[in-house]
């Protein structure tokens, strides 16, 4: 039998030992570039974004330059990503917002970030944790799926429910790296359709794996 508290403690300890360095796979040189890349990465692979962004950053090196362009111009650089029309519109709106309201700089609070076109809570939390090293848990599809599957969350129905439960149980100082642990684990091991359970280093504490093998676990803290 394993409690949720034990599950968290053991899984965190395993990642600390086996994945001491975990970072975003998006390529960027500054906060503006990271924000552009994260906006583009919604429902798209980091690999694709890293192909698209170099010429995009060369054409629009600053928010000010992008703000003076058009949706059509931006679209030409990002048309191979998912939802390019909507993302081009959001990038233009983002650039104008940064230029007119934030002196061309990416703000570092949740409320200010969420006021920017194309920036929802997940993107805002990514910026807080990755760009500004603040304790924040961004919940994307990987984090949402993995957290529910392995039993870190109790069948949460929304990303916000997942975020709140993870924040409750993971120490503040580990939230940012834990976000990357869960993303990378979901991307390469705990995949959506065919999770590599037998090769998984945390399977002995995983609710899904234990249940599959007829072992019951206690989900209360």
% of the chain surpassing 70 pLDDT: 97
CATH of domain 4-22+138-212: 1.10.1670.10
Q: How is residue 218 written in tokens?
A: 């206690």
Would the pLDDT of 217 be above 70? no
Q: How is residue 24 written in tokens?
A: 């975003």
- What kind of fold does domain 31-131 have according to CATH? Endonuclease III; domain 1 (1.10.340)
Q: Which residue has tokens 């093998």?
A: 213
Q: Where are the chain's structural domains?
A: 4-22+138-212, 31-131
**Is 0.85 surpassed by the pTM of this model?**
yes
Helices marked H in 127-194: 141-150, 159-169, 175-188
44 is in an annotated binding site: no
Residues noted as catalytic = 122, 140
The C-alpha R_g of the chain, in whole angstroms, comes to: 19
Tens digits of residue pLDDT in 58-101: 999 999 999 999 999 999 999 999 999 999 999 999 999 999 99
Q: Do 31-131 and 4-22+138-212 have the same topology in CATH?
A: no
Give the phi and the psi of residue 78 in degrees, each rounded to 5: -120, 15
Q: Helix count (H) and strand count (E) of the chain?
A: 12, 0
Q: What is the Cα–Cα distance from 135 to 175, expressed in whole angstroms?
A: 6
pLDDT at position 220 = 46
Q: What is the Cα–Cα distance from 37 to 215, expressed in whole angstroms?
A: 42
């Amino acid at each position: 039998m394993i409690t949720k508290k034990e599950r968290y403690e053991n899984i965190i300890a395993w990642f600390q030992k086996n994945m001491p360095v975990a970072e975003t796979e998006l390529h960027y040189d500054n906060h503006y570039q990271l924000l552009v890349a994260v906006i583009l990465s919604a429902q798209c692979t980091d690999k694709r974004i890293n192909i698209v962004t170099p010429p995009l950053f060369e054409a629009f090196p600053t928010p000010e330059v992008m703000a003076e362009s058009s949706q059509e111009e931006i679209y030409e650089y990002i048309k191979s990503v998912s939802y390019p029309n909507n993302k081009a519109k959001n990038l233009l709106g983002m650039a104008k917002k940064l230029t007119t309201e934030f002196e061309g700089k990416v703000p570092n609070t949740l409320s200010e970030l969420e006021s920017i076109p194309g920036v929802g809570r997940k993107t805002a939390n990514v910026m807080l944790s990755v760009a500004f090293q603040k304790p924040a848990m961004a919940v994307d599809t990987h984090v949402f799926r993995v957290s529910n599957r392995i039993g870190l969350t109790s069948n949460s129905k929304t990303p916000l429910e997942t975020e709140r439960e993870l924040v409750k149980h993971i120490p503040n100082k580990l939230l940012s790296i834990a976000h990357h642990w869960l993303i990378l684990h979901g991307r390469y091991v705990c995949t959506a359709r065919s999770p590599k359970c037998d090769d998984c280093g945390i399977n002995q504490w995983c609710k899904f794996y234990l249940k599959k093998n007829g072992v019951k676990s206690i989900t209360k803290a």
